[in-house]
Amino acid sequence: MKKNYYLWVILFIFLSTYNFYDSTELKLNFFSIKYIEIKGTKNSSQKDIEKKLNNIKGKNLFFLNRKNFQNLLDDIDFVETFEIKKIYPNKVRVEVIELEPIGVYINDQGKRYLLLKNNRLIKNYDNSFTNLPEVNGEGAIEKFSNFYKKIENSKFNLNLVKKYNYYATRRWDILLNDNKLIKLPPENYNESLEKFAEIYEKSEFNKFKIFDFRIKNELIMR
């Protein structure tokens, strides 16, 4: 709070030192944005963001607000939100907060899309996401976000997953990297995943490839 107070005092003294009519251009130039620092980009395109934000350069830093950035960054892949910090007299720092890629969605035509945590799909992406699990099935994309959030909060290890398959019966199968298959019920599948997490690494269960939880209060292994 003290820093902000002193900053306003300095600005007031500076602006009041000059005659308004004689020094308007000087004041505007003094706070004109010349530098934009972008931080936090991992998967989003730094070049695309820089190109968009070039529209901000030359604007008055003193009157800049979040709305000036919102429309420019809304359509940038991976960007969920951002924070801005004014650095007087002529610099802005933009901290980008990205959405996490959680899978590769494959539609009925076999087209592949990178799936982000909020169900956003990216059509064109590079090959650095080859280790992500596949997501398949009609209606899967509408259901996956809620499904993922629930299993993310369980003891189940998401790094084990090779593929998620969704069925018209409103339930999921999970295929693991070691080709073990988990058949989940339509409801209360968190309990099934918790149970699987408890037994997965126990030696007596290594021989089983299918873990079927579809019948309530039962586990069928084969």
**Rounded average pLDDT per 10-residue block, the chain, 222 residues:** 55 51 55 94 92 92 89 90 94 95 93 92 85 94 91 92 96 97 94 93 94 95 96
**What pLDDT is stored for residue 27 in this prediction?**
53
Torsion angle of the four alpha carbons 83, 88, 91, 93, in this order, in degrees rounded to the nearest 10: -20
Q: For residue 215, give the amino acid letter.
A: I
**What pLDDT is stored for residue 74 in this prediction?**
85
**What pLDDT is stored for residue 118 in this prediction?**
85
Rg over alpha carbons for the chain, rounded to the nearest Å, is 26
> How many Cβ atoms sit within 10 Å of the Cβ of residue 59?
15
DSSP tag of 217:
T
d(CA 132, CA 43): 14
Q: For residue 51, give the amino acid letter.
A: K
| Exposure on the CB side of residue 160, measured as CA atoms within 13 A | 18
Instruction: Find residue 163's DSSP bridge partners.
Output: 134, 175
Tens digit of each residue's pLDDT (9 = 90 or more) over 142-169: 999 899 999 998 889 999 999 999 999 9
d(CA 31, CA 88): 7
Q: Which residue reads 């604007």 in tokens?
A: 59
